[in-house]
Structure 1
Amino acid sequence: MRYYRLPGGERSATDILIVEDEDGTAYDLTFASPDLASFKALARVANATNEAIDDVARKRLDDADQVDLDTVDGKPLQPVIADEVWAAGVTYQISEEAREAESGKPEVYIDVYDNERPELFLKATPSRTVGPSEDVGVRGDSDWDVPEPELGVVLHRGETVGYTIGNDVSSRDIEGENPLYLPQAKVYDRCCSIGPCIATAETIEDPHDLEMSLTIERDGEIMYEESTSTSEMATTCDELVSYLDRHNALPETLVLLTGTALVPPESFTLTEGDQVTIDIDNIGSLVNGTVTV
């Protein structure tokens, strides 16, 4: 199943949680119960009853109001307000090659790609994360900025409960100047987007067999378009989660971005007004504009 958070509009004074079943039929779970107004709330119920999230939702479908996702008021919001967004780096070979190219210290990235321990870093807080149709940011003090399309693993109380799409926007020239500048290259206003929904593990049978594509448009012209597969990952999602959880008290809800294999050429940089579209099989499309911050 896929879960969307939408503004309540005329339906509710609060945001509403929409579930789309295997047949593509959508239901307003918040109509069934005001206690199910968010994915986090649904995950809490599943955790308390020791049930799968989809099983909890299915039990309420008879009481839920059927809706048309194409006509419901408002556009999807961030599907979950994650307490933290973390990210992994150098999990694909092309990412390792690109990081070598941007840096005067390529051995740093070679070591990570070849070693068992992955690169993990805190990417964003809730105030720095945007949702579908919102603008991601590019730093005003950077001259080389790119989107990084990534599969996101959604964790609740340390357990994987679903998958989403993430855009790990990055200032490549800042990081390339010195690897110690990574936090400034990665963490800033509007540095991350999440959406459009959360697809549960039941829907994503194998997170390492998903087609992923990136399209960047400027004034109606396609500036970059490429696709890959998560099968190219050198480190599994479970391995990344296991390292993130080591000696690290995780918050209740967290999204872990798993790295990118789609890297625009060195001649390209994001500019204000660009539109970035990331598609991943069985999850959907995450579309964002771009603004200078």
Structure 2
Amino acid sequence: MRYYRLPGRKHSSGSDSLVVVDDGDAYDLSTASDDLGSFTQLARAANACDESVDAIARNRIPDADPVELDPDDVLLPVTPDEVWAAGVTYQISEQAREAESGKPEVYIDVYDSERPEIFFKATPSRTVGPNDAVGIRGDSTWDVPEPELGVVLHREEVVGYTIGNDVSSRSIEGENPLYLPQAKVYDKCCSVGPCVATPEVVDDPHDLGMTLAIERDGEVLFEDSTSTSEMATTCEKLVSYLRRHNDLPETVVLLTGTALVPPESFTLAEGDRITIDIDEIGQLVNGTVGV
């Protein structure tokens, strides 16, 4: 199943709606129970009953109101307590980091190493949802989107997948790899959406087509595709390293790296439109704004 968040409808809680799509039909689970107003609440219920989130949702669908799902209305599908990200998980990413850095050997070492690069990416206040604008740092001269498969964890267990945009200030990271936190963590530095797709629909996260398109003034400036089968590691390994000696909060999104890197001649500008498609999950669209 796929889970979306929509602006609040006319149900007793008055908050946003958790909408499930099953076999093409959409239902507002929030109308079945005020305790199912968010994906995290659904995951808590599943955990309490020792069931999957899909089993809980399927049980409540008969009591839920059917709705029309408009992609322009969807919000951040889950509010992660933390967003983490992995780097240099595709060969093209390793090559891009070498190109931007005066110290390329550090990226070669990570790509060939058993231990992956995992870094903190965003807090809830720095994370935007579908149709919102991601940020471009005012002190950076080279900025790019990084489309990535996101793994959604609840109490350290994988409960679904989403799309993430790990926006990066490459001029800052390229100056010195130790500047990575400034290149990655800032206002509106990350987007997530459009939904959480459970393992019921994402059968193999390592065999998903992924496409990135960037438009400016109606013209496509960059478009390319890849597959998560090109990852040099696995989601399981990345999750395993994230958990190590790390007491994770209740809900976490882990971004798994990118293989789609615009050429060195390209940098984002205010007003650009970024579209990321991943098979079985959907489409994440964001604008851009200076921060």
**TM-score normalized by the length of structure 1:** 0.98
Q: Is the 8 A contact 2:38 2:78 kept in 1?
A: yes
* Count of residues in Structure 1 that have an aligned counterpart in Structure 2: 290
Q: Secondary structure at the match of 1:35?
A: helix
Amino acid at match of 1:67: V
Structure 1 residue 68, shift from structure 2 partner: 1.4
2:105 aligned to which of 87, 103, 107: 107
CA distance in 2, matches of 1:68, 1:282: 20
User: C-alpha displacement at 1:70, in angstroms?
Assistant: 2.9
Query: Amino acid of the residue matched to residue 84 of structure 1?
Result: E
Equivalent position SS for 1:265: coil
Corresponding position of 2:83: 85
Among 155, 158, 177, the alignment partner of 1:157 is 155
CA displacement at 1:98 relative to structure 2: 0.3
Find the aligned partners of 1:70 and 1:284 in 2 and give their Cα distance.
13
Q: How far, CA to CA, are the matches of 1:251 and 1:225 in structure 2? A: 36
Q: Distance in 2 between matches of 1:187 and 1:60?
A: 39
Matched with 1:37 is: 37
Structure-2 separation of matches of 1:266 and 1:97? 12
Match of 1:273 among 267, 271, 274: 271
RMSD of aligned C-alpha atoms? 1.0
Query: In structure 2, what is the Cα distance between the partners aligned to 1:157 and 1:255?
Result: 11
Number of the residue aligned with 1:46: 46
Q: Distance in 1 between matches of 2:60 and 2:11?
A: 18
- 2:175 corresponds in structure 1 to 177
Question: SS of 1:256's equivalent?
Answer: strand
> CA–CA distance in 2 between the matches of 1:79 and 1:9?
16
**Contact 2:11/2:30 (CA < 8 Å) preserved in 1?**
no
Q: What is the CA deviation profile of residues 79-114 of structure 1, one whole-angstrom value per residue up to 9, with x for unaligned ones?
A: 000000000000000000000000010100000000
Q: 1:225 deviation in Å?
A: 0.3
Alignment partner for residue 232 of structure 2, among 216, 234, 238? 234
SS of 2:73's equivalent?
coil
* Counterpart position of 1:17: 18
Q: Could you tell me which amino acid in structure 2 is paired with residue 68 of structure 1?
A: E
Distance 1:105 1:54 in 2: 46
Counterpart in the other structure of 1:119: 117
1:291 aligned onto 2:277 = no
2:61 aligned residue: 61
C-alpha distance in structure 1 between counterparts of 2:41 and 2:250, whole Å: 11
Question: How high is the sequence identity, in percent, across the aligned residues?
Answer: 76
Any idea what SS the aligned residue of 1:214 has? strand
* In structure 2, C-alpha distance between the alignment counterparts of 1:70 and 1:78, rounded to whole Å: 14
* Offset at residue 11 of structure 1 (A): 4.9
Determine if contact 2:151/2:255 at 8 Å carries over to the other structure. yes
Instruction: Find the aligned partners of 1:238 and 1:122 in 2 and give their Cα distance.
Output: 18
Amino acid at match of 2:240: S
Kindly state the Cα deviation for residue 282 of structure 1 after the two structures are TM-superposed.
Answer: 0.7
Shift of 1:10: 4.2
TM-score (norm 2): 0.98
Matching residue's letter, 1:145: D
**1:202 to partner: Cα distance:** 1.0
Structure 1's unaligned 5+ residue stretches are none
The C-alpha deviation readout for 1:231-255, integer Å capped at 9, x for no partner, is 0000100000000000000000000
Indicate if the aligned counterparts of 2:27 and 2:64 stay in contact, CA closer than 8 A.
yes
Distance across 2 between alignment mates of 1:70 and 1:248: 38
Give the counterpart letter for 2:26 in structure 1: A
Runs of 4+ in 1 over 2 A off after TM superposition: 9-12
Secondary structure of 2:35 counterpart: coil
Distance 2:277 2:15 in 1: 28
In the alignment, is the contact (CA less than 8 A) between 2:4 and 2:195 conserved in 1? yes
